[in-house]
């Protein structure tokens, strides 16, 4: 048996017992890792489905927002809109936290009051038109969706990395470690059986020799 | 055994311990308590902070009575249990079972303490309540 397929151990009964224990442990870990991998993949797929929908939604929102914006530009003119927009700049508040998905730390982003009321937007309502209101509303929605999509995409990235790592571990156990341990157990068992057979043959030989001596 | 193999063995043991539900929180909190917090969260055994999405908490609030809001402990633990079959999981607790049954549209008896669900249902539950549910391995699945 080649040494590449078995572990280097001394051929003793103690080693055989230890190897059997290791086999149980390795199989247990393999089963848990496989289960964890299945769950992570299921999570990944369900989040990915949501991400695709969100991205499509975001594209639609942005296209509608820019459309509304260009209509507003057309109606009021660039100079007027630029002047109005100067006064409405604001900070966006986002609560950043973490969530734990099967041991994988992923971000949780919650935008706070992104969509404002008409009176809270900061521009003079009597000087502006519905087109500006519409453009503002659409951009606020797009911003909210962008934050949500950022969270989802980062989650996918982290889950993907963990899945790759987990798959490698499962494969090492499945294709390298467990077969190696099993091959070594088989090798040691065969060695002990052979030793036993040799011993039996030796005893038989001794018996024959003793019988011959007694016969003389 | 060689030094390398000893390291392997130690790594395997460590992996088993690490995997054993280290992502679960030290202690769970009631819905009422979480709703009163500015940033609703629990601390997990691996030291990370697990935050709850307020939208999901509000949704749970809409499903439950005032009394039940105090009784339900979050996150809801979905315990994978191989004794019920491959991919089966159990949800324990009267209020937790009620919530899960409502979301999954299942008919259950009043005061059911345990609900067995399967993989497709776990996916639905997780999609709807991602932050307020956690998947755990049962001791049986670890030690079997």
Residues in B touching A19 (Cβ below 8 Å): none
Q: Classify A77 in phi/psi space as left (phi over 0), alpha (psi -120 to 50) or beta.
A: left
pLDDT < 70 positions in chain B: 1-2, 5, 9-10, 12-20, 139-144
- The pLDDT, as a whole number, for residue B9 is 67
Judged by CB atoms closer than 8 Å, whether chains meet at A29 and B41 is answered as no
Nearest residue in chain B measured CA to CA from A33:
B19
Helix (H, G, I), strand (E, B) or coil at B144: coil
> Residues A112-141: pLDDT tens digits?
877 777 666 666 666 777 778 888 888 888
Tell me if chain B has a CB within 8 Å of the CB of A103: yes
Q: Say if CB B135 and CB B78 are below 8 A apart.
A: yes
CA distance B110 to chain A (A): 30
Structure tokens at A62: 């942005």
Alpha-carbon span A23 to A17, nearest angstrom = 10
- The pLDDT, as a whole number, for residue B30 is 92
Roughly what angle, to the nearest 10 degrees, separates helices B54-63 and B94-104? 100
Q: Are strands B49-51 and B73-74 parallel, antiparallel or unpaired?
A: unpaired
C-alpha dist (Å) from residue A194 to A187, A198, A200, B72: 10, 6, 10, 63
Alpha-carbon span A167 to A156, nearest angstrom = 16
Alpha-carbon span B68 to B30, nearest angstrom = 9
Q: Say if CB B84 and CB B91 are below 8 A apart.
A: no
Radius of gyration of chain B (CA): 17
List per-residue pLDDT tens for chain A, 216 residues long.
Answer: 444 578 888 888 888 998 998 898 888 888 888 888 988 999 999 999 989 999 999 999 899 988 988 888 888 788 877 777 777 777 888 889 999 888 889 999 988 877 777 666 666 666 777 778 888 888 888 888 999 999 999 999 999 999 999 999 999 999 999 999 999 999 999 999 999 999 999 999 999 999 998 886
Nearest residue in chain B measured CA to CA from A108:
B51
Q: How many CB pairs under 8 A join A and B?
A: 83
Residue located via tokens 């005032």 = B66
Tell me if chain B has a CB within 8 Å of the CB of A110: yes
- The pLDDT, as a whole number, for residue B132 is 93
pTM of the model: 0.81
Under 8 Å CB-to-CB from A4, ≥6 apart: which residues?
none
CA distance B105 to chain A (A): 20
CA distance B111 to chain A (A): 29
Helix (H, G, I), strand (E, B) or coil at B30: strand
Helix (H, G, I), strand (E, B) or coil at B25: strand
User: Which chain A residues in 132-191 lie under 8 Å from chain B, judged by CB atoms?
Assistant: 169, 177
- The pLDDT, as a whole number, for residue A102 is 86
- The pLDDT, as a whole number, for residue B15 is 63
Radius of gyration of chain A (CA): 36
Nearest to A43 among B46, B126, B131 (CB): B126
Alpha helix locations (H) across B20-143? 31-36, 54-63, 66-71, 94-104, 119-128, 139-143
- The pLDDT, as a whole number, for residue A86 is 74
Q: Are strands B114-117 and B89-92 parallel, antiparallel or unpaired?
A: antiparallel
> How many distinct helices (H) and strands (E) make up chain A?
4, 2
Using CB atoms within 10 A of its CB, is residue A75 exposed (0-12), middle (13-18) or buried (19+)? middle
- The pLDDT, as a whole number, for residue B139 is 64
């Amino acid at each position: 048996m080649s040494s590449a397929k078995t572990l280097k151990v001394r051929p003793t009964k103690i080693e055989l017992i230890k190897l059997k224990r290791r086999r149980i442990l390795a199989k247990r870990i393999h089963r848990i890792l496989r289960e964890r991998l299945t769950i992570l993949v299921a999570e990944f797929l369900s989040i990915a489905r949501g991400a695709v929908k969100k991205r499509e939604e975001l594209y639609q929102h942005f296209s509608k927002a820019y459309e509304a914006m260009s209509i507003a530009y057309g109606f009021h003119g660039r100079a007027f809109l630029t002047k109005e927009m100067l006064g409405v700049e604001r900070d966006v508040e986002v609560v950043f936290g973490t969530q734990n998905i099967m041991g994988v730390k992923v971000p949780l982003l919650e935008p706070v009051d992104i969509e404002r009321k008409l009176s809270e937007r900061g521009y003079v309502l009597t000087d502006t038109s519905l087109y500006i209101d519409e453009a503002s509303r659409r951009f606020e929605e797009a911003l909210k969706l962008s934050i949500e999509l950022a969270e989802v995409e980062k989650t996918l990235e982290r889950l993907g990395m963990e899945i790759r790592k987990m798959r490698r571990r499962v494969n090492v156990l499945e294709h390298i470690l467990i077969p190696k341990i099993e091959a070594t157990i088989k090798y040691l068992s065969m060695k002990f059986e052979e030793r036993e057979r040799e011993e039996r043959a030796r005893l038989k030989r001794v018996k024959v020799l003793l019988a011959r001596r007694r016969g003389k | 055994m060689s030094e390398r193999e000893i390291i392997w063995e130690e790594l395997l043991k460590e992996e088993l311990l690490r995997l054993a539900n280290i992502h679960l929180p030290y202690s769970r909190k009631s819905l009422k308590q979480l709703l009163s917090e500015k940033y609703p969260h629990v601390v997990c055994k691996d030291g990370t902070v697990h935050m709850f999405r307020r939208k999901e908490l509000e949704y749970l609030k809409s499903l439950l009575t005032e009394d039940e809001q105090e009784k339900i402990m979050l996150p809801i633990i979905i315990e994978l249990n191989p004794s019920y079959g491959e991919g089966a999981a159990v949800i324990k607790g009267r209020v937790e079972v009620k919530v899960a049954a409502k979301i999954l549209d299942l008919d259950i008896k009043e005061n059911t303490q345990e609900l067995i669900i399967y993989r497709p249902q776990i996916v639905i539950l997780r999609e709807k309540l991602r932050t307020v549910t956690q998947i755990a391995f049962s001791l049986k699945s670890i030690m079997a």
